[in-house]
Amino acid sequence: MDFIVSTLADSGLGSLRSALEGANFVVGSDNIWFASNLAGGTVSLASALPTITDRVSLNGITSSTGSPQIGIDFNNNGGLIFKGGAGLSSLKGFSLGDAAGDGVTLKAGGVTVQNNYIGVALDGVTGIANRGNGIFIDQDSGNNLIGTLDPLTGIPLAQQVSNVISANRGNGIQIHGADNNKIANNRIGTSANGITGLGNGLNGVLLGDGASMNILGGNSTEGGNNPTGDKGTITPIIVRPPQGNLISGNGLNGVLIKNRSRFNILSGNFIGTNSEGIAPIANMGDGVSILASDHNGLLGTYVDLQPFVFYNVVSGNGGNGLRVTDSDAITVHANFLGLGADNATIVANGGNGALIEGNSSNIQYGGIIPLGNVNAGNKGNGIEVKDSVSGFKTVNTFGGSSAFFAPAPNGKDGILISATGGNNTIQTNLFSANLGNGIHVTGRAKGVTISPNFVGLGISGLPSYTSGGPTLSWANGLNGILIDGSASNITIAGNQTSIVPQNTISNNSLYGIRITDKAMNVLINNTYVGLSASGTKLYGNKLGGLYVGPNTSGIVIGSKDLKLINKFSGNGGAGITLDRANGVTLINSRLDRNLGSGLSVLGGRGNRIVGNTASFNSRYGFEVFYGGWLRNIFKRNVGVGNTLGLKKI
């Protein structure tokens, strides 16, 4: 049955209240329409409207661009409630504000909420806060659609928006234990135009209490999203993914997933930016925070698609871009964290690009091309892995770089690992141009494998970047790799199949690799330090190739397998410096064309130097101080063409 609202009065014939009472009374699907002459008006309520208990299509009025034209001012009364038999209802075309609690409550399933301003006036910029959440989806509900899945014909994608859910005192949307909801093409925490922050007081979206299998955004490829082009050969197409939400400006996190909420997916959302994804509208906390909730994902593409097709941009937030705490089996594929949607503009997160902490395990961060992430431009580290995290694996991360193009430095390290859980892997990444170290393993970290990566060079293998402007160095501001603290059981090796043939650690401002403090049990093989990936060009680290300091132990450099030899070449100081180090094994390594000596041994005892070649270094091939011949074992080492030959004191 159809009901026509012909007056903006609170009650009486032709009122919204009367229409809802009639729709609840008449069993079956009903429609409520507003007369067109009421467009631009507001219903001001004297008491709460009836709970909606039967299926109804509640239609306000929308403009040609989809914005609502009817306001409901709850006047500190209860908001709209869909309950019981109201499943499969719809709500469209309203501004809903000033409720005593939640603006809209769903306790019935299959409800569609589209083209509404919830917490925002009809002008799209003035907040009229609901005192609770904008939308609350109860555990009795599910399979709801908040927003739209299909783009509107004739309207540019960047200008499209379904619901604006902002300025509420609680969360923009809270999903309380509900499953299979889709949240798409909404602006949550901003004005309708996506330019101004109009934050909800808590989180943009909260998924809690076992909420599962919900989708924020979507994986539609319509519109040709491709911010990288075909790795630089096709003009990039930069638009918001068509089903993505803008979730920015909120008082806490953009998205919080907690309390055993599982199998939720984020795809195509801009979190912490403006609607174009290139300027910050910060969520005050983290962009996305996952707390004690397993099997969730931030997904930006599939293996058979181009990179970043329906990418999340998690940038410009006050805290970290992504925080994962006490959560297992989290998948993060093809996202920008700290960089804008154009793959060029730095939109820094105030903390790290990603922080993995607590007892989290089995975090898959990136994957084979095109699944890698961009962690660049952040004020903290690109990635930090701490506490007892285990089974973390980053693959194809651009840490300090845009995807395939230019430097975009993180303010600290490219990746910082202090996690003690073990089995953490850094494989086939680029960690370059960061203001700190490229890779930093510290604290009581153990069980870290670094194999193979570019550290200090660009994706093309060059030491600097030029594209019509100033030349920018890919050098990390400190060391390529720093291992310190009491880190143990660290492997730096190029023994994984990869488009990167071996670890190539070159061009950095201090040492290529620095091992110091009480670091122990470090293995280095099949690694180039100071060379290009092909081994044909010299891109030396400024202070030296490898430094091993006092109090370290169990350091093994090289391998009996001649296919896994290390090369330390072209560095600004010695190829390798052993500074009062004890028990080092250096075997079958090449020490060539360094501006210092090939090997400089500054004291220490019990070091075993066997089968190495030092050629054409500017000082000595092998330089040994403090009676090193007596305290260390030297066998079958060859010096060729070094400027000063051999030195021992």
pLDDT in tens, 371-419: 999 999 999 999 999 999 999 999 999 999 999 889 999 999 999 999 9
Q: Is 561 exposed, middle or buried (0-12, 13-18, 19+ CB in 10 A)?
A: exposed
Residue 39, SS3 per DSSP: coil
Report how far residue 177's alpha carbon sits from residue 491's, in angstroms, rounded to the nearest whole number: 43
Residue 40: exposure state from Cβ atoms within 10 A (0-12, 13-18, ≥19): exposed
Q: How many CB atoms lie within 10 A of CB 235?
A: 9
How much of the chain exceeds pLDDT 90, in percent?
80
Mean pLDDT, to the nearest integer, of 625-649?
73
Which pair of structure tokens corresponds to residue 14? 């032709």
Stretch 28-43: mean pLDDT: 96
Of 361, 478, 466, 355, whose CA–CA distance to 417 is shortest? 355
Q: Count Cβ atoms within 10 A of the Cβ of residue 351 and give its class: 0-12 exposed, 13-18 middle, 19 or more buried.
A: buried
pLDDT over 60 at 131, yes or no: yes
User: Residues 6 or more apart from 95 whose CB is under 8 A from it?
Assistant: 42, 68, 70, 71, 72, 116, 117, 118, 120, 121, 122, 128
In terms of Cα–Cα distance, which of 402, 223, 216, 226 is closest to 309? 226
Closest CA to 493 of 448, 545, 554: 448
Average pLDDT, the chain: 93
Q: Report which of residues 629 and 150 the model is more confident about.
A: 150
- Rounded distance, CA 503 to CA 513, Å? 11
pLDDT above 70 covers a percentage of the chain that reads 94
Eight-state DSSP code of residue 244: P
Average pLDDT over residues 289-302: 95
Q: What local confidence, expressed as pLDDT, does residue 307 receive?
A: 78
Q: How far apart are CA 438 and CA 425, in angstroms?
A: 15
Strand pairing class (464-465; 472-473): antiparallel
Residues 289 and 70: their CA atoms lie apart, in Å, by 35
Structure tokens at 592: 């060539």
Please name the residue ranges forming H helices in 228-302.
Answer: none
Does the pLDDT of residue 153 top 60, yes or no?
no
Distances (CA, A) of 624 to 362, 621, 630, 641: 45, 10, 10, 18
For residue 639, what pLDDT band results from cuts at 50, 70 and 90? confident
Q: Which residues contact 282 (CB under 8 A, 6 or more apart)?
A: 197, 248, 249, 272, 316, 317, 318, 350
How would you write 377-428 as a 3-class SS string?
Answer: CCCCCCEEECCCCECCEEECCEECECCCCCECCCCCCCEEECCCCCCEEEEC
pLDDT for the residue 592: 96
pLDDT at 590: 95
Indicate whether 155 pLDDT > 70: no
pLDDT digits (tens, 9 = 90+) for 463-493: 998 877 788 999 999 999 999 999 999 999 9
Q: What is the mean pLDDT of residues 82-107?
A: 97
For residue 432, give the nearest of 354, 539, 340 by alpha carbon: 539
pLDDT higher at 237 or 32? 32
Give the single-character DSSP code of 447: E
**Confidence at 65, pLDDT banded by 50, 70, 90:** confident
Cα–Cα dist 233/499, whole Å: 19
Amino acid (1-letter code) at residue 416: L
Q: What is the mean pLDDT of residues 613-639?
A: 82
| Statement: residue 626 has pLDDT above 80 | no
Which CA distances in Å does 33 have to 200, 301, 520? 30, 41, 74
The two tokens of residue 392 are 């973390």
Per residue in 4-17, pLDDT tens? Answer: 999 999 999 999 99
Going by the DSSP 8-state scheme, the letter that residue 484 receives in this structure is: -
DSSP classification of residue 50: P
Residue identified by tokens 């430097």 is 407
2, 8, 54 from 12: Cα distances, Å? 17, 10, 21
d(CA 232, CA 221): 20
- Asked if residue 129 has pLDDT above 60, the reply is yes
Residues 6+ apart with CB under 8 A from 325: 289, 290, 291, 292, 357, 358, 360
Say what the pLDDT of residue 240 is.
Answer: 66
Q: Each residue of 438-466: pLDDT tens digit?
A: 999 999 999 999 999 999 999 888 999 88
Q: Where are the beta strands (DSSP E) in 70-159?
A: 70-73, 80-85, 90-92, 94-97, 104-107, 112-114, 117-118, 135-137, 145-147
Q: Judge whether 461 and 534 are in contact, CB under 8 Å.
A: yes
Structure tokens at 331: 């998948």
Position 359 scores a pLDDT of 98
Which structure tokens are listed for 369? 């091309």
Closest CA to 198 of 187, 207, 206: 187
With tokens 């330089």, the residue in question is: 623
Q: Which residues pair with 337 in a beta bridge?
A: 375
Taking the C-alpha atoms of residue 246 and residue 254, their distance in angstroms, rounded to an integer, is 9
Q: Which residues pair with 104 in a beta bridge?
A: 80, 135
